[in-house]
Structure formats: C-alpha cells, structure tokens
Amino acid sequence: MAMLTAVPTATDTPVTLPKTPTGITGLDEITLGGLPQGRPTLVCGSAGCGKTLLAMEFLIRGATEFGEPGAYITFEETEQELAQNVRSLGFDVEQLVSEKKLAFDYIHVERREIEETGDYDLEGLFLRLGLAIDSVGAKRVVLDTLEALFSGFSNMALLRSELRRLFGWLKQRGVTAVITAERGDGSLTRQGLEEYVSDCVILLDHRVKEQVSTRRVRIVKYRGTSHGTNEYPFLIDADGISVLPITSVGLKHKVSSARVSSGVARLDAMLGGQGYYRGSSILVSGTAGSGKTSLAAHFADASCKRGERCLYLSFEESPDQIARNMRTIGIDLDPYLASGLLRVEASRPGLYGMEMHLAQIHRTVGDFKPHSIVIDPISNFSNAGTNIDAESMLLRLIDFLKTSCITAMYVNLTSGGKDRETTEVGVSSIIDTWIVLRDIELGGERNRGLYIIKSRGMKHSNQIREFLITSNGIRLEDVYVGPEGVLTGSLRAAQEEREREAGVRERQELERRQRELQGRRASLEAQITALQQECKALEDEASAIVAQGAAQQRALAEQRSKAAQRRGVDRNEV
C-alpha cells in the first residue's frame, strides 16, 4: 500500500538545491524537480530494469527539451546498438549527434586483451570523457555502466581511487551526471559505487509477482532535499519511461454539482430525478448476466447523445461485439464510434501489469479527453496482479478520474455465492454512487433487480426495481410488494393479472349493488307516489263528503222552508 501515501508537493518545502529536470514523466515529481544539478546521481538496479533507458532518456530530453547537450559514455553497448534500442521509442539519436546535441563514446574494456605490468591510472577515461563533454558542451553526462571497469582491471585499490577522482572531477566540471550500476547482493550496487556517489541514489526494480511484471522506482537517498520516499511504479512503453506517482495526493479535487443522465429515465428518477453527478464515480456491481454492460452502454449512449466524448474500456468484449450486442437492445453505438465520440479500447487485463494498464488509461485519457468513461469490468484486474495491487491501482485510477472531473462508471462482476454487496477489489467505500444489479430467482424464473446502495449527495430511492432488458433498452418496473411477498417476472405479471381480474369482479359487484339500490330507491319512490295519490284521493273524498253534507243541509233547509211555506208558518218559525 506504499503507493497510497502522498508525494510531498513542491510547495511543502522550499527548494534549496538547484535541480536539473529529467523530463521523464513523473520522475521530476517524485524528486521534486529533478536530479541534483552539477552532481552525480547513481541509478542502480538489476539487469533489465531500465537503467540504460532512464539514463538515455535523461540525456535526450535534456538535449531536446531543456537545451542541455549531453555526453553518453557507454561501457556495454556500442553507439549503434544504443541508438537502435531507443529508436523504437521515437528518439532519433543519430540526428541529435549530427546536430551536436549528443556525444557518444563507447569504452570497450576487455580483460583478456590486457596485461598489467605495473603502475597505471585511468587518465585515458578522463581524457575521453573530457573530449565527449567538450565536443558538444555537455551539461549532462551518463556513465553506463562504470562497473564494466571492474571486470577490466584487477587492481581494485587503484580502481577505487580513480573512481573517487572521477566523481570529484565530474563535480568540478559541473555536469549533472547519471551513473548506472548493477544491483548487488545485500548492497545497492555490486561494486559499492554508492560509496562515491552520495548525493542522489535512485533504485530501479523489476519484480514479477504471479507472472505479471511490475517495474518500480525508489529514491533511496537525495541529500539536501525532500523527496518522495515510496516505491513508485513505472513503465516503459512507446513514449519512454513514465513514473506514476499518485495523481491526486490530497482529496482536494473540485466537484461539480451538475448532473448527467444515466441513460435510463426511471433510474434518473431514482437518483433524485436527475441522474449522476458529473465527475462522480459510479460502481455497478452484479453477478454474471445481470445487465451491467447494458446499463453501462446506456450511460455511454447518453453521454454521446449529449455530444460528450466517452471512453469505453472493455476487458471482456471486443468493440464490435459490444456494438452488436447493444444493437439488440436498441442502443446503436455505431454512429458514435464512427464520429469518434465513443472510443472503445479492448484489451485483456492479464496482457500486461497493473501499472501498465493504469498508465495506458492515463495516456488514453490525456489523449482523448473523455467526459465520461466506462471500465468494464474492474473485477478482472485482480487477474492481472494481486488484489492489493489491483486495489491500489483502482484507487489511483478513481482518484485520477475524479480529479479530471470525468464521470466514471466502474463495472464489477460479483462472483456467484459471494456477498453481493462486496466488490472483488475493495473500492466500494470511495465510490460515490453504487448500483447493485442482482438476480431474483422465484417461481422457476431468474429475473433482474436493481437497487441503489448509496448515492452521495442526493436523495435516492430505496426501492428495488425490476430491471427489464427489452429491445428498446432497459426498463425499470416496480416490483410487486404485497401480502404474497416480493414478486418479479411472470409471477409479478400473474399477480397483477389476478389483481386486475379481481378488480373487474369487484367493479361488477359494485355496479350490481348500485343498480340494486337504484332499483330499490325507484320502487320506494313509486310507493311514495302511490301513497301520495292515495292521500290525495282521501282528501278529495273528505272534501267531497263535506260538500255533500253541506248540500244535504242546504237541501234539507230548503225543503223545510218550502214545507213551512206550504204550511204557512210565519217567518219567526223558520
């Protein structure tokens, strides 16, 4: 975990020692500015660890980028061999030599040609060194590797005193020198050169762990200045050496509160209605076949739809395969691939070491400048190295992408039987939004479910959604949660059907009851009318009777008066 600690930044300590920048990516950062100016630096390491290349790049960059000519004194390879070796890295040594920016001298020391017959010194070496320096006005010198002298001469005492004189002489000439040396058993160099070079010692290492090789560099000592003390991975690729200090040392990156769509409307709704934060890191984990890549493709598609570049790093499928598969779910990535908005980089994780992957990603990102990135899947990285390596690499990657404000989606395959809420590589804690896809086995079916474990800085849904992959992309459905438990898939559909039927029946029943009530009401109203009519009839009858009574009385009175008239009673009798 050495790499997780921070590199001290240049602002932490005032630079007191004048330094010569190497121009090698990352090396100037960990040395806080470069190698000690006008002094020798020892670069040691075992065979094949990159000493010669580092030395060569130091000179070439000095000559091309800093206007400092260099002299290369080689004891092992001829000038032609060296030039050939670095030509693959795009350095044209012959050109620099003809422009008098570089001088070479191949010092060939072979013991069997040499008979020692008394006192001697190495003045010839000094003369040649001086010649090489003077021929181009060199400010930088490489001696690669002085130890060849030890196999050429047998008088050790003399050799050592000459070496001491050599380093003094180099300092006096004021050249910034790089001296390479083989790593020895239990000591930094086989011949103890570290005794003479005391200002700066850089150790290169090339380790193979579980069949994957990683190169590392460490500043063993740097007198008079602070420096990064850890082992930093470095790699050699088409552009030379890149040392990888951690990109973001503190958690100081700026954050954006802008939001970007996940490409799935319903998922955006679950994420506070707006989707992911721009520049956040999103982890999508799930078992095999749970739809992770489809979700990632939606994300990539949404990015391209906004006209933003998206980088898709695939460690399982080829670009063509991804495009074909996504077409079947209604995501057409081809136009974006053609227009260059989408770039798919496919490689096998075991192809090279972790550091190489990281550096490649760095390089591609620097080159392509994507707005969003998909890494599918990150779990495969543990194949390329140990888990610790993978974890530290991912941490650095996540940091790097966050610092660059690139929205990053990391796809993680959870192997069956394991706890779904763990990642193979323990990065979940630094992820901003974590979406888990899981399969739900129920009723003889395997269905997909999606839920959000966390999403920093936004209100997010706590519900499980059923996750359907249709020919029109991903659709999220509510799962059935009822007295029957959580149901998905056809069980959910059946349950919903049952509920629908039940609903119809219920409605019919209601209507029937309504009609019944209406009928009853109608009949009651009819009864009321009948009674009212009856009542009216009675009233009529009563008034008829009264009228009849009155008429009879009148008739009677009339008859009586008529009878009285007839009888002739006087009026008073009436």
Q: Which residues bind other proteins (CB under 8 A)?
A: 105, 107-109, 113-125, 127-128, 130-131, 149, 152-153
Rounded (10°) angle between helices 51-65 and 79-87: 80
Q: Rank residues 177 and 394 by Cβ distance to other proteins and give the closer one.
A: 177
Residue number, 115 or 185, with CB nearest to other proteins: 115
Element (H, E) at 5: none
Nearest distance from residue 175's CB to other proteins, in Å? 17
Beta strand pairing call for 480-482 and 473-478: unpaired
> Are the beta carbons of 128 and 73 closer than 8 angstroms?
yes
Q: In angstroms, rounded to a whole number, what is the distance separating the alpha carbons of residues 482 and 463?
A: 14
Is the torsion defined by CA of 258, 263, 266, 270 positive or negative? negative
DSSP-derived letter for residue 25 is B
CB of 134 to other proteins, least distance (A): 9
Question: What's the closest the beta carbon of residue 169 comes to other proteins, in angstroms?
Answer: 14
Question: Contact, 16 vs 224, CB < 8 A?
Answer: yes
**What is the closest distance, in whole angstroms, from the C-beta atom of residue 110 to other proteins in the complex?**
9
Distance CA 299, CA 477 (A): 19
Q: To the nearest whole angstrom, how small is the minimum distance from the Cβ of residue 149 to other proteins? A: 8
State in angstroms the smallest separation of the CB of 194 from other proteins. Answer: 23
Q: Give whichever of 128 and 278 is closer to other proteins, judged by the CB atom.
A: 128
Integer Cα distance of 302 and 260 in angstroms: 8
Query: To the nearest whole angstrom, how small is the minimum distance from the Cβ of residue 91 to other proteins?
Result: 23
List the alpha helices (DSSP H) in 145-208. 148-152, 156-173
Cα-based angle 86, 88, 92 (whole degrees, multiple of 5)? 55
Is 302:262 a contact under the CB 8 Å cutoff?
yes
Count of all residues that appear for the chain in the document: 574
CA distance 201 to 40: 9
Smallest gap from Cβ 78 to other proteins, in A, equals 12
Q: What are phi and psi of 173, to 5 degrees?
A: -70, -15
List 176's β-bridge partners, or say none: 140
| Shortest CB 322 distance to other proteins, Å | 58
Query: CB-wise, 4 or 114, nearer to other proteins?
Result: 114
Give least dist CB 122 to other proteins, A.
6
Q: Which is nearer to other proteins, 167 or 315 (CB)?
A: 167
Cβ atoms 56, 178 nearer than 8 A: no
Find the distance separating the first CA and the last CA of the chain, reported in whole Å.
142
Contact 407, 280 (CB under 8 A): yes
Whichever of 80 and 328 has its CB closer to other proteins, that residue is 80
Distances (CA, A) of 404 to 281, 395, 501: 12, 14, 55
